[in-house]
Chains A and B, each alone.
Chain A
Amino acid sequence: MVRNVAAAALAAALTVSVAACGGASDGGDSGGTDGAKELEMWTFLDPNSPDDPRGAALKDIVESYNEQSDGITVTVRSINYAKIDAEVIKATASNNGPDLINIYSNQLPTHVAAKTVQPMTEYAQPLLDELGDDYLFPVDGVTFDDEIMAMPWETRAWLLWYRADLLEQAGLEVPTTLDELGDTAAALQQTGKTGLAVGFSNAGLGADFMEKFIPFTWGNGGEILDGDEAVFNDTAGVEAMDYFTELHDKGAFGDEVLSMGADEVVNGVKAGTIAMAIEGSYRVGAARSGEGIGENLQTVPMPSDTAGTPLQTPVAGQTLAIGAGASDADAAWDFIQYYTSAESQAKFAAAGVLPVLSSVYDSAEVQALPNAAELATWRDYVVDFGRPNPVSPNFSELSDALVTAGQRVVFEGADAAEQLDQVAENYN
């Protein structure tokens, strides 16, 4: 009997020990004990990164906020860009989500559908009304069911990049129409460079391809989505796909673009193996930092069929949202307001980020930047020709399917209409 009791006690002790080993550590109390409020912000930026000036700007802004705020302390948790969305969704499902979340505007619909964020219209609308036209970012891009779900703090536009040195060596002018773009790229390809890089790789879920397919489809008078329904499989979409085929057949790019995503394209421009590309404004600073690049990398608005009238550019950017389980939404908004203020925007502008406030471009801090004039042209492009990037909760899936369709059309000669119909049918 004694042995049985001892055995049971031993078993219980071991089981409890094992359970204790596997037990989760407690998440801590987000609220302070003396009225102080602690907020956790999850972002892909690393405040301690030695390479990314945006990280340093983030650190500066958070520290400044914590110093001046009345009892609110924000701490930053940095999560890899490729993982942050999944981490937030998983954490929120287990009631451990953050108070503040940095979300790329393309991913915002996914977060809205996954209920990781809460509406902020009651906070944001009065501020936006007050800012009026000064706020550049098209708020439609972050509004779902009439609710503003996040505040963009960064603007991105897509531009035609070109290596001025390579064009000059080839005796070529900067193209002003899509026809000229193809011809110029084909001529550059003859010099042993990739004339115009369009990333057809599946890497990054085909994002680089989508960044071209969208404006080209718009340029042909079409749309990508109507609500949540795919509508790109019309004449405009087919013409956009046929334009890619024309570029390939003309020799504007070769099969090498099949292995290129956005990173490879930017690296190619830096290395001088790619003469032209259509890439985001937010990557220009990093590309120029390459050895011997500097001012050799120039940008102009994307050309359209008509000289002097550029294509409409998709506008996207990083946003800040209030987590669905935020411990204090008022405090979270207080921080967001500070984060998107002119003062913070100027700090981010110095780190190569395109501000969301028009007036910041005229501020002393931005005017002191060496590319202040260029930033102003980008702002004007966004104001005059910017449109919210089409988004949906399944946009990644759509992007992945469309780049595969693009590969089949351009490199295997598949019928563009059939491929687009197939992708649209699967999506809808």
Chain B
Amino acid sequence: MATVVHHPAETKRPPVRQTPPPPPAPPTPSSARRRKAAANAPAGLAWGLILPSIVVVAIVSIFPIAYAINLSLHETSYMQVGEFIGFENFLPIFTTGEGLGQIGLSLVYVIGSLLLAVPLSLGLANLLNQQVAFRRVFRVLILLPWVVSQTVAALLWKWLVNPDYGPLGLGELGGNRVDFLADPVLAMVLLIVVNVWISYPLATILCLASLQTIPEELKEAAEVDGAGPFRRFMQVTLPLMKPTLFVVAIQLTLLYFNMVTLVYTLTGGGPLGGTNLLSLGAFKESFEFFNLGLGAAYSVVLFAFNVIFGAAYIRLLRSDKS
């Protein structure tokens, strides 16, 4: 005969309501009047209210994108826009080893950073969500890198990993001097680590906010059903956090693809072109070499990658829901 053991948590659960919820109250005369009035509202008012928003969005979002696309299809000389040249500005990006290398390195950088940042943020958010002493202090400490600018972060980490005097410098290992900024692979690893360091707080905040919306009852129910902590996390917490995680992924992807300051300050694209990303190409061509057309082409390629990744996340989210 099986013995039924009541888990303490179960006793705390509120009694299950047996009676069906009351039907929604019929519309009162005043609310019905309001709906009717709204239905009959003049189109002019609706357009009048929405038009300023459309104008602002057009000015700050659509116009720059359209301008960049137009610029990428024209010859340029400093700030002067010349003849239409079709996709000629895109050729150096898609038909040269350097351009294709930049695309590959950007994908390594973005995907590598995401693979580190998202699980790290999820884990830290879970830790911060626990009822532990000094929880607020931990929260502040973990979120600190968020307030550090990319330039400061780059200079700080340059010093930290310096093999001669940096506190995190590895010096000589096995007879070889380990200099993160003198090796293309190690430089990319360092770039990803620093990038994750400055961007995980944002993701952690979003994950923490999402965690706090998950009802405890669900976890307790799973616990009653015999699910351990890992299974509860995988089967209760994670599915409920998926929409947030997709938003985090989209935000971080956009941030990573477009990041310039950190890369420029930390590695400058080197050594040996090992961290020469698309975003850096866009910046250098536009503002250091003043090839605005080519710089705009880089920006359009970045925009396309952002759209592709964003659309993929949304598709995944929708298929998951269905």
Contacts and interface: CB of A to CB of B under 8 A. Distances in A.
B42 A258 contact: no
Contact of B45 (A10, A17, A113, A257): A10
A382 B80 CA distance: 38
A202 B56 contact: no
A139 interface: no
Given A22-B59, A255-B177, A271-B165, A202 B78 contact: no
B220 interface: no
B78 A258 contact: no
Given A11-B44, A18-B55, A404-B272, 18 more contacts: A7-B45, A7-B47, A8-B44, A15-B52, A18-B56, A22-B59, A89-B78, A93-B79, A201-B270, A201-B271, A202-B276, A204-B268, A205-B268, A254-B177, A255-B177, A256-B164, A258-B182, A411-B271
B181 to A, nearest CB: 3
Contact of A201 (B45, B48, B268): B268
A25 to B, nearest CB: 17
Nearest 10 pairs of A and B residues by beta carbon:
A11-B48, A259-B181, A202-B270, A93-B79, A7-B45, A202-B268, A7-B44, A258-B182, A203-B268, A114-B78
Contacts of B268: 201-205, 261
B51 interface: yes
Contacts of A77: none
Interface bin, chain A? 35 or more
Contact of B271 (A3, A8, A200, A394): A200
B47 A396 contact: no
Interface residues of B, number: 37
A110 B177 contact: no
Contacts of B59: 22
B25 interface: no
Nearest to B280: A202
Interface in B279-294: 284, 287-290
A205 B280 CA distance: 12
A86 B273 CA distance: 24
25 contacts: A3-B42, A7-B48, A14-B51, A15-B52, A18-B52, A18-B55, A19-B55, A93-B79, A93-B80, A114-B290, A201-B181, A202-B267, A202-B268, A202-B271, A203-B270, A204-B268, A205-B268, A255-B177, A255-B182, A256-B163, A258-B272, A396-B289, A400-B288, A404-B270, A404-B273
Instruction: Report whether over half of chain A's contact residues are helix, strand or loop; otherwise say mixed.
Output: helix
B269 interface: yes
A258 B179 contact: yes
Contacts of B44: 3-4, 7-8, 11
Nearest to A398: B289
Contact of B48 (A10, A271, A396, A407): A10
Looking at B52, B56, B59, B284, which has the most chain A CB atoms within 10 Å of its CB?
A: B52
Interface string B39-50: 000101101110
Interface string A127-159: 000000000000000000000000000000000
B288 A396 contact: yes
B47 A90 contact: no
Contacts of A7: 42, 44-45, 47-48
Interface of A: 3-4, 6-8, 10-12, 14-15, 17-19, 22, 86, 89-90, 92-93, 110, 113-115, 200-205, 254-259, 261, 271, 273, 394, 396-397, 400, 403-404, 407-408, 411-412
B78 A93 contact: yes
A205 B179 contact: no
B47 A11 contact: yes
Contacts, number: 118
Nearest to B56: A18
A19 B42 CA distance: 25
Nearest to A271: B165
B289 A258 contact: no
Contacts of A396: 288-289
Contacts of A17: 52
Nearest to A408: B272
A11 B59 CA distance: 17
Nearest to B44: A7
Given A15-B55, A200-B271, A396-B289, A3 B177 contact: no
Nearest to A401: B98
Nearest to B176: A255
B71 to A, nearest CB: 13
Contacts of B181: 201, 258-259
A11 B47 CA distance: 8
Looking at B80, B270, B289, which has the most chain A CB atoms within 10 Å of its CB?
A: B270
Interface in B158-193: 163-165, 177, 179-183
A14 B182 contact: no
A22 B164 CA distance: 51
Interface in B77-133: 77-80
Given A3-B45, A407-B270, A255 B179 contact: yes
B101 to A, nearest CB: 11
Contacts of A394: 289
Nearest to A19: B55
Contacts of A15: 51-52, 55
B184 to A, nearest CB: 9
Contacts of A408: 272
Interface string B56-68: 1001000000000
Contacts of A86: 287-288, 290
Contacts of A113: 77-78
Nearest to A93: B79
Contacts of B77: 113
A403 B180 CA distance: 19
Contacts of B179: 255-256, 258-259
A408 B271 CA distance: 9
Given A10-B48, A404-B272, A90 B79 contact: yes
A394 B289 CA distance: 7
A205 B51 contact: no
